[in-house]
Each structure stands twice: as structure tokens, then as C-alpha cells.
Structure 1
Amino acid sequence: MLTGLCIGCGTTGLAMEAPYCGDEGVWIQILGSGGYELDDRGAASYLVWRDQRAVLLVDPGPGSAVRFGEAGADFADLDAVVFTNVAADRTADFPSFVAGSDGRTRPLPVFGPDGNDTYPSTRELLERLLGRQGAYPGLADYLTFRDPEGYRISVRDVPATGQRRWARFGTDDLTLAAIPVHHGDMPSVAWRVEVAGQTIVFTGNFSNRKDVVAGFAEGVDALVIHLAIPEGARGLVRERYVRPSQIGRIAQRADARMVVLGYRTSRTLGRETQSRTALEQYYAGPLVFANELECWGL
């Protein structure tokens, strides 16, 4: 059964009640539903909860640290953090999470795409941000584990080229897999998450040129995918993002039980009816247009 819950939606940030994602089961919470624009939506970012514990943070972009606190999540509970790419709107708040992470004692696994001649790998990015010679050298101990009372960030690059699935992380609560996706010249990966028998795929930004997401997402309980452009988009954006009709085809081929549409920017806001119409030509399942701090139970 799919359960939607949104407490405080429509209120201002200061008046917003603490959201609540249910006592039991697996939930997806929207920390940010927007993109790179300066508006009232945070950049696309997500939490996965299990039984009132936040186990996975996906794409800690701008605004996500504030929403994380509003959600009542505890950084010490996280089993991992994953990036779909290393753009600013996917990663910018990560130093804020680290700076405010007092109380965590176990290592923090962080996974993201490797780099190319233009973009740094995830490991290189975090070294540039948190390393001794980086932007925030005061946080460097978290990369070196020199503070015996702290914890260490364990960074691993995931292949962002080819078509092979990466699957080298698992705990009792969480299993991760990734596959390269096409997003222009930016190394990018989609993530498949398994928690307590439920499966979620977070695609991040992609154009589907490689046509790998439908197979990667086969049988998922929730497909979290980005609605970045309208059906009639033209030009270079079609080389970087999927259109609504393509989302519908992917969801139909994957037999996704539910689709969550994130990364809602000025290109698609206000065009929900048109996007839904294009998407529902191919997919007849439940659709959710993501908003800040909403929770969706699986």
C-alpha cells in the first residue's frame, strides 16, 4: 500500500509543524523539490527512512541541511550518503552537514560518480572542499580520522561510464547499486536502494540516451525521477534531461509501482497538467509531484 503524508504543507517555513513519516516501514521524504534556481524550493534532495530512522541521504544540495533539521532526522543515524553527480545543486550543503555532525561516532560511507577531464570525481570534490588545502580545512579531520572522538568519512568513486552495474555496499538495513546515466558531459549515476524489502530508484538528472534506467529500475516500488523539462522542450536541454513522455515509457517498462517527480523548475512548474498528460500516455500508476518535506510511505 502506498501512503502519502504531508504535515504543514502550504504553511511558511517558520510556522511549519515538524513532519512525521510514520512509525513503521520505509518512507521517502522530499528535502528539496526544485533545481538550481533561486526560489522557494530547495534543490532536489531526498531522505529514505526506515522505522523512524533516516538511513540514506541522496544529493545534499542547497537547502537540504535546513530541511534535514526540520524533518527531525539525526545525522548519526545515516548509513550512507550518495551523490548522483557532483554539481553544486547536488552537493553544496554537504560541508554544512559535516560541520553540524557532532554526535556521530561510526564511519560515514559517501558514494558518487568518478570524474573526467572537466569534472572532479566525488573523492576529488570532497578533498577540495574538506581537505587540508581545501575550502574548509577545519573539517579535514573527518577525512583523516585524526580526532579519536569523531568519525571518518569514507569516500568511494563509482564508475560513471559504460553500462555495468556497481553493487558493492550493503548493511543489514540498506543495499545500494548504481549505474551510469547520460547527462551531457557531466559524469552521473542513478541509484537503486533496497530497504526492508522495498526498492527505490533515484535517477538524478539524465537524458536516457543510454536507455538503461528502465532495466535498472525493473520492479521498483518507487521511481524518483526528475521532471526538469516540458514535453515541448527544444535544443540542448533535450541532450541533458528526459521529457515527460520518456518518463512515462521508462516507468511503464520498469513496471514501477509509483513515480515521484522531483527537480521541478520554472520550465515545468505550472505545466503539471501537460506533463501528466504526456506521461500518462504510457504509465497508468500513481504519480506524485514532489513538494518540500512531503513523506511517501511504501
Structure 2
Amino acid sequence: MRYFLVVLLLLGAPKSLALEPPYCGDEGVWIQILGSGSLEFGNPRAAPSYLVWIDNRARLMIDAGAGAALRFDESGAAFTDLDALVLSHLHLEHTGDLANLLAASRDADRTGLFPLFGPAGENGEKATRDYINRLIGSKGAFNELSDLLKFKSSTGYKVSVRDVPAVGRRRWSQFSSEHLKLSAVPVHHGGTPSLAWRVDIGEQSVVFAGDLNNQKDTLSAFAANTDALVISHVLPDHARGADRETQLTPSQIGRIAEASNARFLILSSRAKRTFGIESASKAAIEKTYKGPLIFANDLECWGL
């Protein structure tokens, strides 16, 4: 097993020194944490967002929470290299920087289509396509970006939005590129259409679970034998009541990771209420899951 944390040491560096972007390795598959936090005051982290690097190129972006555009730029990734962007669900915490990211992309010299996938509820309700139209369409909040939705876009590329059903238990698997294959499965997150995403790169895989409480019990089988399971750590283990309608406790995370036989586990979307009790969360998870466990931080890179 190999997985590496690449850390940029800045302490004591002169202020005039140009900062080098974090480095995720020349070869192989790497997960970069763009945002490891949640949307709340007092949380010094960007909101959830991730990159999958393949042979030193960022090929997939998952979610675009607040701070994602800045972290994307800091990572050294190129927008032209992305095969797609996928959204786990449409809550602000996971999409808040999407308009900023797309605005910044206008001078990225990308051509052709830019696939963007996200959930849609029953009968097409709460659909990603509608969300994007309300966000950047001709009558949207940021209609100065509406050109991005046109085939003859002045930017040189078109955002191609596709809804993925987030109802029932059926697995979706209708996108692949020369670099990766995507699949998704509905997960329960209260009344919000939500998806877990799996990225298969040859014999390796990563699963981004997003926010869920696993009421549908779809995640373990979907994440079977994955190399890395990235999952939200929002609740302490003693959480009760309405919180558990939308999120997992550490004990539940441990059971899912063990049942899926994940090679290692990354805890992200770290909420302020979990700060300072990492040892308790770790102990709760390790009651059932014995593999390596990582508490994510912004801009870290982990290799498969």
C-alpha cells in the first residue's frame, strides 16, 4: 500500500518568496482535497471540493463549495485538463463557488464541451439542469455567464449539463473518457436529491460519498473494494435527532468503510463541532474499521 501526503512548508519563508503550488506526483492517481471544511463562521477551511489527478493532470473535479475556485488555482490544476465536473448535491455548501469557477474559466482556452453532472429528484424535480439555468442562464442570477451554455460560446467551450437520477437504488454509469469511468448511486440526505460518485481508473478507484445518512444502504456495495472512500465528517458520535436524518456518525462511517472493504478512509467536510474530538471520532470508527484513516486538510494530496 502506498499513499503520500505532500505538504508545502511555509513557516519562516520570506514574504517575497513566490509560493509553489502543492505537488501531487508525476505518475499515478492522486486525490487532492481542495476544500475540507463546511460552510460556517469559525471554520478556517474551504467548503467541500476535490480533484482527481492522473499522471500529473487534474482530470475530475468533485463539488465546488465556497473557496473552490481559489483552491483550484492554488493547486496548479488546468481547467483545460478536466474531463468533467460532478456534483454530489445542490446545497450551497457544495456548489457555492461554481459560478466563480466558471467565470474564471472563460480565459482558460478550453474548447469543445465541458461535461457537468449532478443529481435530479423524482420526476426531474430539483434538477441540476434547472439549477444551472437559474445560476448562469439568460435569466439567471449571473446571466453574464449565459454564453457558456451556448454551442457558439465566445469562450470557445460549452458547459454541457446532464441530470443523473437520484431516486431509487439504480446505479448510473454512462460516462467515460480515455482517462476514467464515472458511476453514481442515489444516497439519502434528507429530502435533497444526492449522489455518491465512483471514479474508476484502470484497476484503481475512489468513491466520494458526499453527505448522507445511508438510510437507503446503497453505499457499501457501491464502494466495494475501493482504494479510497472520501466521506463527510460532520457529526460527533453522540449526535442525535434531526442531524442524523442527513449525516453519518463516526460509528456509522466505520461500519460502512468496513463493509465496503475500503483500502483507506478520508474524512472531509469537517464541521466545527468535530474539531478537537478527532481522537474520539477515530476510536468510534476503529471499532469496526481497521484500515488507515485520514482527517483531510485543504490542498493535501493522497496517492493511491
Given the two structures, how large is their TM-score scaled by the length of structure 2?
A: 0.94
Using the alignment, how far apart are the partners of 2:120 and 2:9 within structure 1?
A: 37
Aligned to 2:286: 280
1:21 partnered with 2:21: no
Using the alignment, how far apart are the partners of 1:9 and 1:124 within structure 2?
A: 43
2:49 to 45, 48, 51: 45
Displacement of 1:117 after TM fit? 9.3
Residues 36-87 of structure 1: CA distance to partner in whole angstroms, max 9, x if unpaired? 2133100011100001100000001100110111100001100000000001
Using the alignment, how far apart are the partners of 1:58 and 1:111 within structure 2?
A: 10
Aligned to 2:165: 159
Using the alignment, how far apart are the partners of 1:9 and 1:292 within structure 2?
A: 14
CA spacing shift, 1:10–1:184, aligned 2, 3 Å: farther
| Structure 2 unaligned blocks of 5 or more | none
Displacement of 1:120 after TM fit? 2.6
1:142 to 144, 148, 170: 148
Tell me if structure 2 keeps the 8 A contact 1:115–1:122.
no
Aligned to 1:189: 195
Using the alignment, how far apart are the partners of 1:235 and 1:11 within structure 2?
A: 43
Tell me if structure 1 keeps the 8 A contact 2:121–2:167.
no
Residues 100-129 of structure 1: CA distance to partner in whole angstroms, max 9, x if unpaired? 112111211000100469973110110001
CA spacing shift, 1:149–1:115, aligned 2, 3 Å: same
SS of the residue corresponding to residue 267 of structure 1 reads: helix
RMSD: 1.8
1:217 partnered with 2:223: yes
Given the two structures, how large is their TM-score scaled by the length of structure 1?
A: 0.95
Greater shift, 100-109 or 206-215, is seen at 100-109
Using the alignment, how far apart are the partners of 1:53 and 1:35 within structure 2?
A: 26
4+ runs deviating over 6 angstroms: none
Aligned to 2:6: 6
Using the alignment, how far apart are the partners of 2:153 and 2:226 within structure 1?
A: 41
Using the alignment, how far apart are the partners of 1:227 and 1:9 within structure 2?
A: 26
SS of the residue corresponding to residue 132 of structure 2 reads: helix
Using the alignment, how far apart are the partners of 1:59 and 1:9 within structure 2?
A: 27
Using the alignment, how far apart are the partners of 1:40 and 1:130 within structure 2?
A: 28
Aligned to 1:86: 90
Displacement of 1:3 after TM fit? 1.8
Using the alignment, how far apart are the partners of 1:284 and 1:18 within structure 2?
A: 33
Percent identity, aligned pairs only, is 50
Aligned to 1:104: 110
Aligned residues: 297
SS of the residue corresponding to residue 154 of structure 1 reads: strand
